[in-house]
Amino acid sequence: MFLLAAITGKYGEGESSDSALVERFIRKDVSAFEELYDRHSRVVYALVVRILQQGSTAEEVVQDVFLHLWRNAGQYQSSRGPFVPWLLTLARNRALDQLRLKSERQRRREDQTEEIPAIAQRPDYEKALDEKRRAERVRSLMSSLSAPQKKAIEMAYFEGLSHSEIAESLHEPLGTVKSWIRNGLLRLKEGLQTAS
Amino acid sequence: MSEHDQFRELIEAYALGALDANERAALEAHLASGCAECAKALEEARLVVTQLAYLAPPAEPSEMLRARVLRSVRADAAGGSGGGSLPMQAGGAQRTSVPMWLWAGIAALLLFSLYSTWEARSMKQIIGDTNQQVVAALKERKQLEEELTMAKHEAWILTDPSSKKIMIMPSDKSMPMVEAMWHPKMGIYVTAQQMPMPKNNKVLQLWLIPKTPGAKPMPSHVFWPDANGKIGEMVANPPDDMADTKALAITEEPAGGSPQPTSTPMWVGGVS
């Protein structure tokens, strides 16, 4: 089973798939955008709140993300990957930028905000998974990791910290942190493929 | 381990954004060289990394946010510039139109705020008045308690068998008689009816006349009758002992009383 098929999916019968909605929204169809917002604003908002730890700022970032999405609809190319991971990457980058701006930390990532990288090439995804099931699956897989391994991955993802910053924060050797993160992500990948 | 393998090991951390600057630059150079295997691994790693978003605790964006976003999008779609706010963008101070419902909300909030202020002031006034009433009630209660104590004291003197009754007779037969009850421990209680009010701003003063020959009268209580001519005066601590006192006398004295009698006694009563 392809990894992409395991992770991405379309919605149930009677509802338009994300790709069909995205095609419409690229053509500036407001109702398509509205449906995309209703489908994905919760997970985007939850992610941004988790990163910023502040509801009011999180709402500003989420507003910024969706308006950016609308005004730069042409930036998204379905051939470069599924829509939701692209949207989540955009939201995470915006939230981390805001976090770094607030904490006056050096920006380590300068060019990913506007230019979202390709995520996966294969467009043939059919696996149906709603948000709740996705969350349950990822949490279940992450719970199989050791506590420090999970902690290191979360610090990198939600706080935007580098290997050496995490090692310093956890008082662990740099090599250990690198191993935790790589092995943890590989196990997550393996688990996602197996679960499908 | 080949150079390619070394870079391959960095792919997951790169997708996560966890590489330090030097490693990131090296890997980006490697990717730019056209390594297809690493590029493919990176795409997959990025897909895995996006799944970490689902670790965030569930949270529900507000309806206000939805309304703001959709209003801006509709305004954009209609070709208008009114609603397009991007608050997080640099220099993004764009005009945002305020809908009527929001004005109504602001007006309601303002009214509520004014009402709350008025209510707070009213409550403060009520609390202040109540406090004054409580203080007045406590004062009145204390006064009543003192009067009750005094009344008990007087009743005790009047009824106790060890009290001695002293008739203080007027020198002027047209004047009423004054009666004193002297308790050896609790003091003297002086009563009279239909007493005339002293004239020229003077007061009545009680004196204890010692038995010792030549000793000066001991000044005691200063008093005056009430509007009905009644006297009921308590001398809690007489200046001399009953056994050492020959008589009680009452004179008219200037306001405030005198250390020595300044007039002839108008009433005199023998004690022992």
CB of A36 closer than 8 Å to CB of B64:
no
Q: Inform me whether the pLDDT recorded for A93 exceeds 90.
A: yes
B56: left (phi over 0), alpha (psi -120 to 50) or beta: beta
Contact criterion met (CB < 8 Å) for B18 and A41: no
Q: Which residue in B12, B21, B50 is closest to A186 by CB distance?
A: B12
User: What is the rounded CA–CA span in Å between residue A116 and residue A101?
Assistant: 20
Token pair recorded at residue B223: 């008093």
CATH architecture designation of domain A130-196: Orthogonal Bundle (1.10)
Domain ranges of chain B: 1-84, 106-159, 164-270
Return the pLDDT at A1: 43
- Which residue on chain A is closest to B41 by alpha carbon? A120
A47-56 mean pLDDT: 88
**B164-270 fold:** Immunoglobulin-like (2.60.40)
User: What is the rounded CA–CA span in Å between residue B32 and residue B38?
Assistant: 10
Does the structural domain B1-84 have CATH classification 1.10.10.1320?
yes
Q: For chain B, say whether A163 makes contact (Cβ under 8 Å).
A: yes
Given pLDDT bands bounded at 50, 70 and 90, which one contains residue B208?
Answer: very high
Contacts of B61 in chain A (CB under 8 A): 41-42, 44-45, 59, 62
Q: Which residue in A62, A66, A157 is closest to B49 by CB distance?
A: A157
B51-62 mean pLDDT: 90
Given pLDDT bands bounded at 50, 70 and 90, which one contains residue B205?
Answer: very high
**A1-129 fold:** Rna Polymerase Sigma Factor; Chain: A (1.10.1740)
User: What is the rounded CA–CA span in Å between residue B203 and residue B252?
Assistant: 6
pTM exceeds 0.90, yes or no: no
Domain ranges of chain A: 1-129, 130-196
The model's pLDDT over B178-201, given as tens digits with 9 standing for 90+, comes to: 999 998 888 899 999 999 888 888
Q: Which residue in B17, B19, B69 is closest to A66 by CB distance?
A: B69
3-state SS class at B209? strand
DSSP A196: -
**Cα distance from B74 to chain A (closest Cα, Å)?**
7
User: What is the rounded CA–CA span in Å between residue A155 and residue A33?
Assistant: 32
- Cα–Cα separations (whole angstroms), residue A70 to A34, A114, A138, B93: 10, 13, 29, 19
- Cα–Cα separations (whole angstroms), residue B209 to A78, B132, B168, B242: 123, 48, 13, 10
Contact criterion met (CB < 8 Å) for A109 and B76: no
Residue whose structure tokens are 């999405």: A69
Q: Which residue has the higher pLDDT, B97 or B43?
A: B43
- Which residue on chain A is closest to B72 by alpha carbon? A67
Given pLDDT bands bounded at 50, 70 and 90, which one contains residue A31?
Answer: very high
- A and B: number of Cβ contacts within 8 A: 187
**Cα distance from B53 to chain A (closest Cα, Å)?**
6
Crossing angle of helices A163-170 and A147-159, in 10° steps, is 130
Return the pLDDT at B155: 87
Q: Where are the alpha helices (DSSP H) in chain B?
A: 3-8, 11-16, 21-32, 36-50, 63-77, 100-159
